[in-house]
Structure 1
Amino acid sequence: MCRYSGNVCDGLAFSCLASLSISTVMPKISSDTLWEQAAAEVHSLDRGGKEEDGGETVTERTVFLIGSKAGGKTSILLRCLDRDEPSKPTLALEYTFGRRARGHNTPKDIAHIWELGGGTSLSDLVQIPITPASIKSLSVILILDLSKPNALWGTLEKLLQAAQARLEKVFSQAQQAERAKPGAKHQTAPHSAASILPKDYPDRELISPFPVPLLIIGSKYDIFQELDSDKRKVVSKTLRFIAHYYAASLIFTSIKSESLMSKTKSFFSHLAFGLDRGKTVSCESTKPLIIPAGSDSFSQIGSPPSTDVDITSLHAKNPKDLWKKVYERIFPPETTGEQRELKDPAKDQQYSEPQIDAMRAQKNQELEQYKRNAAKSWKGLELET
């Protein structure tokens, strides 16, 4: 279930054949047929997501938004794209795009933007935006709802694991395809730690960089401020650890704060259009965190906040596991909500359509009646035999 929206074809529905990540801006070619235009677009993506426009190079990037259900992903995205329109619940997986001109009468750079709805329940859909064509210029934005700290670790863990597993599979397929080409030489996997981190990167040997650029956004900071100061410190230190462990950037924001949204937009524009993300750094737990990748270190973060927890009794396998156990002692995972979400979006109340649901219920009843009649017929045949 995908919804396509944009300045040109806003509101039109496309099927999930959009896994090809077809650009909304077609290259200038002489053919008038849709299939030839699509073929030319695929060729342009194979050349690294760039196409020529009057002698200028048009850069195309892909940004994939994942995160907490009802965590404010759409609202943040609309603000980052300067779109003054009301946000709506994301229907499973949605696509939109952003364009930015570098100057007067110059071609516009394009950002293909995918947004995954449903929190962790639809994590299988990561395979649609993460493709061999998109990984060359892909970035991931993880938006976590700070107002629900008990669901925070489970959300980030499941979504990052799903995205990382898909990325590793696609990288492996791309490598195999490269090796299969005549005269191809062995190459280091794209986005490996050796290729994306400088030698002086803090704790370079102790971290596990995410395969593509990663930005973690803590949303609803205005509500988060109402929590107890000790609990805020636990959440802040934990997210600092996670961000540094994955070599990611981290920022806390609220759509009610113009200042925070301005800084958030800078981080977004850095991933979507390659712009400068700014030099502001804030690591104090009493203030909104603003930490660009490479600006933190394990020594600055310190040990897990274990005021009421005996770390030696936790039997952690590694530092990340230790932080998880400490965090979940303070914020026990919820037994309801996203962990028990229905896998079928058709049964989700936020997507309810009374007339369609009534018709579906009727058809389900007819199907059950058909099954019962069919079962009786088979029993009759067995008796005759």
Structure 2
Amino acid sequence: MPKISSDTLWEIAAEEVRCREEDEGETATERTSERTVFLMGSKSGGKTSILLRCLDRDEPSKPTLALEYTFGRRARGHNTPKDIAHLWELGGGTSLSDLVQIPITPVSIRSLSLILILDLSKPNALWGTMEKLLQAAQAQLEKVFTQAQQAEKGKPGAKHQTPAHSATRVLPKDYPDRELLSPFPVPLLIIGSKYDIFQEFDSDKKKVVSKTLRFIAHYYAASLIFTSIKSESLMSKAKSFFSHLAFGVDRGKTVSCDSTKPLIIPAGSDSFSQIGSPPTTDVDVISRHAKTPKDLWKKVYESVFPQEGTSEQRELKDPAKDQQYNEPQIDAMRAQKDQELEQYKRNAAKSWKGLELET
């Protein structure tokens, strides 16, 4: 007859975990690291293509229907666990910004990073896209931070603990213009896509776009890089920034702030003094109507590139009719159920008409 132990279930479980860790020789550095990266940005701005290139996946990109999930893995060395990156991609530009609540959760914010991909070839939609998506993400982040803090308050000993979540991202004391910034709550990378088209723009217009994005990136304590899927060298640099967020890999020390060249500016490598004032001759007139420096840059940018409406129509195809999701047996059953539904509607309509006549 087996011996009955007086230990509680929790004591037995704790001992089991301790024994497993001893047997496997597991250390903190050998444990699998998991991070979450959320990509969003301009509609048809190249988000999927850039993601596939960063993951070294040689496959054709398909339009993102709404919100899609994939993952990436990377080994730190021989016979070590692979780090995992949970990757979410928001499609539809700004039309589906309410879906940010799915990837931004109390669990994911512990290791969450955000990548905003803006189409440089469409400057007239750039500011509106950037503003709406960042506002949606920031609102959800603040909501989640609040929920996480409230949950922690209910834990034993919470009064003597430092909150694990904070809506305010703390920057190093030597960070340039630290007191003048509004750091985004989580690490943020802004990617300007389709640089191959953008480089053919008029030099003055390129200067406006480049300086404006430098201001925005520095204001949010974010990194900024311009890239093109048609350039191996630019994609290689973009991949290093992506890998830094997804797997903690060193992103390199290259910095390029020249508006005549692709921008490569890691967070903390720029300053307002280097960026200078907004590129316009009417800055004094415009500044009278601007309430904040960010508002000033917005008005200057929109004076050069009047913004198109960002209330995009949800031109999303029915996934059930999309060829890339073909499932013959399921589609046949779906067609049968659709026919049964239509027949039911017709019969119901006849019944209501019969009741009306009797009445």
Q: TM-score range by the shorter chain?
A: 0.7 to 0.9
Is contact 2:145-2:166 (8 Å) kept? no
Match of 1:190 in 2: 165
The question of whether the paired residues in 1 share the 8 Å contact of 2:40 and 2:91 is answered with yes
Question: Is residue 2:125 matched to residue 1:151?
Answer: yes
Alpha-carbon offset, residue 340 of structure 1: 3.0
Return the alpha-carbon distance in structure 2 between the equivalents of residues 63 and 122 of structure 1: 18
- For residues 313-358 of structure 1, the C-alpha deviation after alignment (integer angstroms, 9 at most, x for no partner) is 66122111111111112111124xx5231276539x988999999x
Tell me the equivalent position of 1:85.
59
Which digits, 9 at most, give the CA deviation of each residue in 1:134-171, with x for residues without a partner?
A: 11001000011100101101111111111111111111
Q: Show structure 2 runs of 5+ residues with no match.
A: 1-23
1:311-322 equivalent positions in 2, closer than 5 A: 311-312=285-286, 315-322=289-296
Q: Distance in 2 between matches of 1:181 and 1:132?
A: 15
Output one character per residue of 1:236-270: Cα deviation in whole Å (capped at 9) or x when no partner: 01100110010000000011111111111110111
| Letter of the structure 1 residue corresponding to residue 201 of structure 2 | L
Q: 1:53 to 1:309 in 2, by over 3 A?
A: farther
Following superposition, the deviation at residue 383 of structure 1 comes to 9.8
Residues 20-79 of structure 1 show CA distances to partners (whole Å, capped at 9, x for unaligned) of xxxxxxxxxxxxxxxxxxxxxxxxxxxxxxxx9844211111111111111111111111
User: Sequence identity, in percent?
Assistant: 82
Q: CA deviation at 1:196?
A: 3.0
Aligned length: 330
1:56-71 pair list within 5 angstroms: 56-71=30-45
Number of the residue aligned with 1:243: 217
Q: Determine the C-alpha separation between the residues in 1 that align with 2:346 and 2:283.
A: 57
Q: Check whether the contact 1:314–1:325 (CA below 8 A) recurs between aligned residues.
A: no
CA RMSD of aligned residues (A): 3.3
The residue aligned with 2:146 is: 172
Q: Hey, what does 2:301 align to over in structure 1?
A: 327
Structure 1 residue matching 2:238: 3-state secondary structure: helix
CA contact (8 A) 1:99 1:109 kept: yes
Query: Residue 341 of structure 1 aligns with which residue?
Result: 313
Q: Distance in 1 between the 2:70 and 2:187 partners?
A: 20
Q: Is the alpha carbon distance of 1:340 and 1:230 closer, same or farther for their aligned partners in structure 2, counting shifts above 3 Å?
A: same
Q: How does 1:237-276 map to 2 (within 5 A)?
A: 237-276=211-250
Q: What's the offset of the Cα at 1:191?
A: 5.0
1:311 and 1:326 in contact (8 A); partners too: no
Q: How far did residue 373 of structure 1 move?
A: 9.4
Alignment correspondent of 1:124? 98
Q: Secondary structure at the match of 1:251?
A: strand
How far 1:369 sits from its partner (Å)?
11
Q: Which has the higher contact order (CA 8 A, sep 6+)?
A: 2
| Alignment partner, residue 263 of structure 2 | 289
d(CA) in 2 for partners of 1:233, 1:106: 46
**Aligned-partner residue type, residue 274 of structure 1:** G
CA shift digits 1:179-234 (9 cap, x unpaired): 011221263573554x5310111111111100000000000000001111111111
Give the equivalent residue in structure 2 for 1:115. 89
**Does 1:278 find its partner at 2:252?**
yes
User: Corresponding residue for 1:211?
Assistant: 185
CA contact (8 A) 1:214 1:249 kept: yes
**Whole-Å separation in 2 of the counterparts to 1:204 and 1:188:** 22
Match of 2:84, SS state, is strand
Distance, in Å, in 2 between the alignment partners of 1:323 and 1:137 is: 31
In the other structure, the counterpart of 1:222 is 196
Shift, 1:117, TM fit:
0.9
CA distance in 1, matches of 2:280, 2:300: 7
CA distance in 2 between counterparts of 1:79 and 1:66 reads 16
CA distance in 2, matches of 1:121, 1:350: 20
Deviation of the 1:372 alpha carbon: 10
Structure 1 distance, partners of 2:149, 2:210, is 38
SS of residue in 2 equivalent to 1:159: helix
Higher-Rg structure is 2
Is 1:346–1:352's contact at 8 Å kept on the other side of the alignment? no
- Note the C-alpha offset of 1:308: 5.5
Residue equivalent to 2:12: none
Identify the residue that residue 112 of structure 2 maps to in structure 1.
Answer: 138
Q: Whole-Å Cα distance in 2 between the matches of residues 230 and 360 of structure 1?
A: 56
SS at match of 2:311: helix
Kindly state the Cα deviation for residue 91 of structure 1 after the two structures are TM-superposed.
Answer: 2.3
What TM-score does the superposition give when structure 2 sets the normalisation length?
A: 0.81
Q: Note if contact 1:219-1:254 (Cα within 8 Å) is conserved in structure 2.
A: yes
The answer to whether the 8 Å contact 1:95/1:115 transfers is yes
